[in-house]
Structure 1
């Protein structure tokens, strides 16, 4: 029998409030996946190195495997599931990844998509070098990054053309 204290929390994820009962040490990545059923956030290294678990917390890329769920209360969290347009169409970064073949196995893709979304919001017209810097903290073992960098530049172009707010 566990004596660990359980906390009732409310998390705003993708614009929707969710309630969960979690121990204080529950990681945000685990709360998203196991308590809320949002399995788009992937857990890779569990040390904050690979970037697969990256979500946006108040618009900033955050390694969800390094943040406790109780610490996210009161913040706006955006996961990969929240990047599509309200009508269900792909958002600019998702569309660019599809057009530029920016993924292979797809395991790292959710972390790249959220990272790039924040990066383009900060720099809406990145150069190729800036695109490389934007994704430098995320690891991919399949692609070699060339198409990911192309997708960053294409996503910025799509967002500018469509007037999309990222």
Structure 2
């Protein structure tokens, strides 16, 4: 069983390093959910050029190699996935930094989901039953948790 989620990224506004790290964490949250709920990972997040893992890798590479938001201010002209893949393959330092970003943001996503475990279980149950969740339904479920468990630490 696989899934998909759609997130709107604002076309304007200040996009800081944290913005890009947040995007990577969001893209890896499905994998993190699988590991927390099912105990391991499946092939659902990998595969195609627009799969969660590919998008997370693309964002991490782009921020590191093009935007000066990593360990270096060197700029690459790479744009396509093939070009980004090529620079990762030929630059071991870049590859290691991208891997670290992916690992760190995966762990961050898991930490957030652990705090939101009750909501995560509710979302998983509804997805299993209905195959779909609207943004409004997610908000409703989150509000019901906030009302029923007021002492739970809230993390966005």
- Which is richer in helix? 2
TM-score normalised by structure 2 residue count: 0.30
TM-score normalised by structure 1 residue count: 0.29
Greater Rg, structure 1 or structure 2?
A: 2
